[in-house]
Amino acid sequence: MGHEIVSLDTNPFTPGIGLLGKISFHLSAGPNVVRLNREVIHLVRHHKPDIFWADKVLQLHPSTVLQCRRLGIQTVCYMIDNAFGPRRDAGMRLYKKSIPSFDLHCTQRDVSVADLKRRGARDVIKIQTAYDRFAHYPPPQGWSDADRNRGVSFIGSPYDDRAQFLAQLAQAGLPVVISGAERAWQRALTPAQFNEIYREGELQADAYREGIWRSKINLSFLTKSNQDEFTHKSFEIAACAGFLLVERSPGHLSRFAEDKEAVFFSSVEECIQKIRLYLPDEAARARIAGAGRERAERDGYHNDHQLGLILDRLQAVK
């Protein structure tokens, strides 16, 4: 988009393993937190950026954010998760304290807009989780079911009741395939279920995109424990021209035309019905997947558009 970016990888500042690491993470305290904040201040003083952008950085002291603002730097907090939701994510202590310090907060759900304002946020913009044009794109021309070795596919984590839902699909005789973090799925499924439907491990980067390509039907679920209105994965699947079978919600229904750009379900029974309808119909799946891809590109369900909205908002709050 024409901006010069100076990045800071926060992974080296994450707490260590073991009991002390867990305590450090839960409290957002310890030497790793001190080092991270010191490094942020060093970088902003050295580079003097226009904007400091924190992408779910849980270890920031409010004083660090305020120091950026005193240097004339606009501060943005982009948070995909819900610090106040029923999932009760750990490690949010400093994040909650720093809410009033940022110029702008970015969130994807109405309930979080209200929560942030109640916590003293200066400004909040509701944005949409989005796909990356460089990572999520259609398969090579001529791709067909001959290239697809995953029937009913889910790539992701076993939040909420997803494991039980997917196990029910498999029990109905459907060709279910799950990929994701192995230990998480082992805990969520019985040994027999895991051996039957889990394969390929955790698919990331190119392997994730190709996993969508290789799937006849791509499932997508809301994370209800996060109070989500739509899910990131739905837009990535659509961008990859994958056939999207997604949990029905107002957020999804307003972004895809039902049975034309995506197919929806509200129960296990309806999901089974839709799978049995579309699994043997490659032509219908290709038509819907292509229309979903066109909608995602036309309506800006990608990072470029969403980032542009955020930068425009920053200009307005200067």
Q: What CATH superfamily classification does 11-130+303-316 receive?
A: Glycogen Phosphorylase B; (3.40.50.2000)
- Say which residue, 138 or 16, is predicted with more confidence: 138
What is the Cα–Cα distance from 226 to 159, expressed in whole angstroms?
Answer: 10
For residue range 274-308, list pLDDT tens digits in order. 999 999 999 999 999 999 999 999 999 999 999 99
At residue 15, the pLDDT reads 76
- Per-residue pLDDT, 24: 75
End-to-end CA distance of the chain: 20
Three-state DSSP at 313 gives helix
Q: Which CATH number fits domain 145-298: 3.30.565.10, 3.40.50.300, 3.40.50.2000, 1.10.760.10?
A: 3.40.50.2000
| Ramachandran class of 302: left when φ > 0, alpha when ψ lies in -120 to 50, beta otherwise | beta
CA torsion 82-85-86-90 (nearest 10°) is 50
DSSP track, 251-277:
HHHTTS-BTTTBEEESSHHHHHHHHHH
Residue ranges matching CATH 3.40.50.2000 in the chain? 11-130+303-316, 145-298
**Residue 124 above 80 pLDDT?**
yes
The answer to whether the predicted template modeling score (pTM) of the entire model surpasses 0.85 is yes
Question: If pLDDT is split at 50, 70 and 90, which confidence band does 20 have?
Answer: confident
Q: State percent of the chain over pLDDT 90.
A: 83
Bridge-based pairing of strands 176-179 and 150-155 is parallel
Distance CA 251, CA 302 (A): 16
Tell me what percent of the chain is helix, strand and coil, each rounded to the nearest 5.
45, 15, 40
